Amino acid sequence: MTKQIDLTDLDIYYGGFQAVADVTLSVPPRSVTAFIGPSGCGKSTVLRTINRMHEVTPGARVEGSVRLDGENIYGRDVDPVAVRRTIGMVFQRPNPFPTMSIRDNVVAGLKLQGMRNKSELNEVAEKSLRGANLWQEVKDRLDKPGGGLSGGQQQRLCIARAIAVSPDVLLMDEPCSALDPISTLAIEELITELKEQFTIIIVTHNMQQAARVSDRTAFFNLAGVGQPGQLVEIDDTEQIFSNPSQKSTEDYISGRFG
Give the span between the Cα atoms of 157 and 210, in whole angstroms: 22
# chain residues binding ligand ADP, by CB under 6 A: 13
Return the closest-CA partner of residue 41 out of 21, 57, 56.
Answer: 21
Pick one of 2, 33, 45, 209: the residue that binds ligand ADP (CB under 6 A): 45
The smaller minimum CB distance to ligand ADP, of residues 35 and 241, is found at 35
The smaller minimum CB distance to Mg ion, of residues 44 and 155, is found at 44
Pick one of 9, 26, 56, 57: the residue that binds ligand ADP (CB under 6 A): 57
Return the one option of ligand ADP, Mg ion, none that residue 45 interacts with (CB less than 5 to 8 A, by type).
ligand ADP
Give the span between the Cα atoms of 175 and 158, in whole angstroms: 10
Residues 14-43 that bind ligand ADP (CB under 6 A): 14, 17, 19, 37, 39-43
Pick one of 2, 33, 44, 51: the residue that binds ligand ADP (CB under 6 A): 44
44 binds Mg ion (CB under 5 A): yes
Ramachandran bin of 182, using left for φ above 0, alpha for ψ from -120 to 50, beta for the remaining angles: alpha
- Do 129 and 68 touch, CB atoms closer than 8 A? no
How would you class 258 by CB atoms within 10 Å of its CB: exposed for 0-12, middle for 13-18, buried for 19 or more?
Answer: middle
Q: Report, in Å, the least distance between residue 53 CB and Mg ion.
A: 13
- Do 131 and 179 touch, CB atoms closer than 8 A? no
The smaller minimum CB distance to ligand ADP, of residues 42 and 167, is found at 42
Interface residue list for Mg ion (CB under 5 A):
44
